[in-house]
Amino acid sequence: MWFKNLFIYRLHNWNETADSLHDKLAEHGLPPCGGGDLQTRGWVAPKADGEPLVFELNKQLLISLGVEKKLLPTSVVKQFTQARVAEIEEREGYKPGRKQVKDIKEAVVTELLPRAFVIRSRTYAWINPVDELLIIDAGSPSKAEDVMSLLMKSVPGLALTLLKTKVSPGTAMTQWLTEEDNPRNFTVDQDCELRSRGEQAATIRYVKHSLDSAEVARHIQGGKTATRLALTWADRVSFVLQENLQLKRLAPLDVLKESAELDKDNDAFDTDFALMSGELRKLIADVVNLLGGELKVGESANQDLKAA
């Protein structure tokens, strides 16, 4: 298992072991999605059902937020609601008003929920106590927020702040696109997004396109800045850097896949987590260093990459 999208947070007041964290997460385990529930959420075992709620390897911890949700298509609710409205209209001789239709719809949902299918999804979170980081594999801020809020509820006193750098990713990515040399230990790939800062916020996206063209330079000279940029780190991992420091579309390259193949004797889950956490620790450190280092509380951000 490899994380594909990273939201990175600084851990504050972290004093948990794998065992103590398991006990605290167990108090907020995933409850079954009952007859009247539309959705439930809680912690589930990251490796397999019946295993501990915290997977530990090489001082790194893995947890997983599970969500059970009733699958109740809007089209089905609409069909049943319309049928009930038609029955009332035929029986009573009048068409129900807006409020009555709303009440009918709510009653239909309540009636159908116990018969709806339940689907389960999960969001993984990797806790790196050594570097005091929390990394959440989420494609959207709302999913990352769900993990953060339940983790802070489960671990009283824990504080989390989004990791920030002294140079904003947007400033750095824009400078990289105007320079001839690649940033150290990274190569610039062929996907990027440029956006103007005016009210209209015009956006240009390039996919599998040479980014050293005069056209790209002209857009930057015209005032557009980079909001995301595809990069490859050390010929080992490709990813897209976002202006909010999120790393998206992470993919291990052939050299890492070969390493995993050579370790077939061990559990595949263990091997993947060990390889992923080991590589991504170094990748995150290199990204932060490339952006001038971490921005601490009370420090001012730099606007120039070379001055950082």
Query: What confidence score (pLDDT) does residue 262 get?
Result: 55
* Residue ranges, the chain, pLDDT below 70: 35-36, 71-72, 77, 112-117, 199, 255-266, 303-308
Backbone region of residue 201 per phi and psi (left: phi > 0; alpha: psi in -120 to 50; beta: other values) = left
Query: What confidence score (pLDDT) does residue 266 get?
Result: 63
Distance CA 232, CA 252 (A): 10
Amino acid at 42: G
Q: Judging by beta carbons within 10 Å of its beta carbon (0-12, 13-18, 19+), is residue 260 exposed, middle or buried?
A: middle
Query: What confidence score (pLDDT) does residue 102 get?
Result: 87
Query: What confidence score (pLDDT) does residue 260 get?
Result: 57
pLDDT tens readout for residues 127-182: 999 999 999 999 999 999 999 999 999 999 999 999 999 999 999 999 999 887 77
Query: What confidence score (pLDDT) does residue 305 get?
Result: 64
CB-based contacts of 164: which residues, under 8 Å, 6+ apart? 245, 294, 295, 301
What tokens appear for 21 in the block? 């964290």
Query: What confidence score (pLDDT) does residue 212 get?
Result: 80
Query: What confidence score (pLDDT) does residue 79 get?
Result: 83
Considering the entire predicted model, what is its pTM?
0.83
Query: What confidence score (pLDDT) does residue 41 get?
Result: 94
| Long-range Cβ pairs for the range 174-182 (8 Å, 24+) | 174/220, 174/225, 174/226, 175/305, 176/226, 176/229, 177/211, 177/216, 177/217, 177/220, 177/226, 177/229, 178/217, 178/220, 180/212
What tokens appear for 92 in the block? 């009573």
pLDDT tens readout for residues 181-205: 778 899 999 999 999 877 677 899 9
Query: What confidence score (pLDDT) does residue 80 get?
Result: 74
